[in-house]
Amino acid sequence: MTPDGMILRSTTTMMKLENPGRATLSVYILGSAALLISGAAVLFAPDSFDRGLTVALNHFARRSYLFDAACHAISDYTIFSGLIFVSFLWYCWFSSPDLPSRYKVLSGTIASALAGMFSRLTQLLFPNRARPFQDASVHLKLPFTVKLDSLRHVASSFPSDHSALYFALAATVFTVNRKIGYYSFGLAVLLSAVRLYLGFHYLSDTIGGAALGVLCVCVIQNLRIPSLTKRVSAMCQAPSPAFYAVAYCVTYTIATMFFDVRAIASQLAHLIRH
C-alpha cells in the first residue's frame, strides 16, 4: 500500500473512532452557556456579579510584600505558566505517538493560539472595561508590586486572554493524557486566581476566557474537513524536520503569550498612525 493510502486509511479510522459524543456535546453546551452568561454579566450587571469577590480578595492585599511579589512573579514570568503548558504538550506528543493522540495535540495547539487571538478580538469589539485595579470606583488597595500604570497599553479586561490560552492548553493536554490534564487545569485555575487577586481581572473575565479557550479546542479537534484532516494527519504521522522547526517557533510564541508578536504589531500600528 502506498504512503498516501496508509495515511488515508489511518485518517478514516481515526475519524470513525473519534466521533464527538455526549461528553463533547456537554462541553459545547456548558462552554457556550458560561461564555454567554459572563458576557451578559459584563454588559448588564457588572457591579453586582463581580465586584463583591474582587473586594473580598483585596482584603488580603498588602499584608505581605513577599506574597504579593510572588503572585506578581507567577503572573508575569512565563517560566511559571506558558513554559509548563508547552512542556506538557511536547510530553503528550512524544509519549503518545499514535495518530489520534498526535492529531489532538496538533489541532489543540492550533486551537489554543486561535483562542488567544479570538480573546483579543473580543476585547476590541466589546465595550471597554477597565481593569479592577485601574477603576477608581472599586476602591482597591494595590498589592505591593502592582503599579497603576501596569497594563496601560493592554485592551479591555473582558475576556481574559490569559485564561483563554491557559484553559485551551489544559483542555488540549486533557484530551490526550487525563492525569497531566488534571494538573494542567489546576495550573490554569491557579494562574487565573492569581490574576484575580492582583486586580488584573474580574471573575467574569476569567470565566469568559476559560469558556472561550475550551470551546475553541473542542470545536477544532472535532472539525472534520476531509482534505484538511488528511493534511494534518500526514504531518502527525510522518513529521519532517521542517515541521519540528515550525512547531518549536509556534510553541515558543505560545509559551511567551505572543509577546514578540504583540510588540511588533504595536510598533507597526504606531508607525502607521504617524
pLDDT tens for each residue of 175-187:
999 999 999 999 9
Contact by Cβ (8 Å): 197, 151: no
Quick one: pLDDT band at residue 19, thresholds 50, 70, 90? low
The better pLDDT of the pair 32, 43 is held by 32
Average pLDDT of every residue of the chain: 86
Residue 78 and residue 166: Cα distance in Å, rounded? 11
If one compares 129 and 104, the residue with the highest pLDDT of the two is 104
Nearest to 120 by CA among 86, 77, 162: 162
- The torsion angle over the Cα atoms of residues 100, 101, 104 and 107, rounded to 10 degrees, is -80
pLDDT at 250 over 50: yes
Q: Could you tell me where the DSSP H helices lie in 126-202?
A: 161-176, 178-198
Percent of the chain with pLDDT over 90: 53
CA 98/CA 102 separation, integer angstroms: 6
Instruction: Count the Cβ atoms, other than its own, within 10 Å of residue 101.
Output: 18
pLDDT at 220: 93
Q: What is the pLDDT of residues 208-238, one digit of tens each?
A: 999 999 999 999 998 877 777 787 888 888 8
Considering the entire predicted model, what is its pTM?
A: 0.88
The amino acid at residue 189 is V
pLDDT digits (tens, 9 = 90+) for 265-274: 778 877 887 6
What is the predicted pLDDT for the residue at 4?
46
In this prediction, residue 107 carries a pLDDT of 93
Percent of the chain with pLDDT over 70: 89
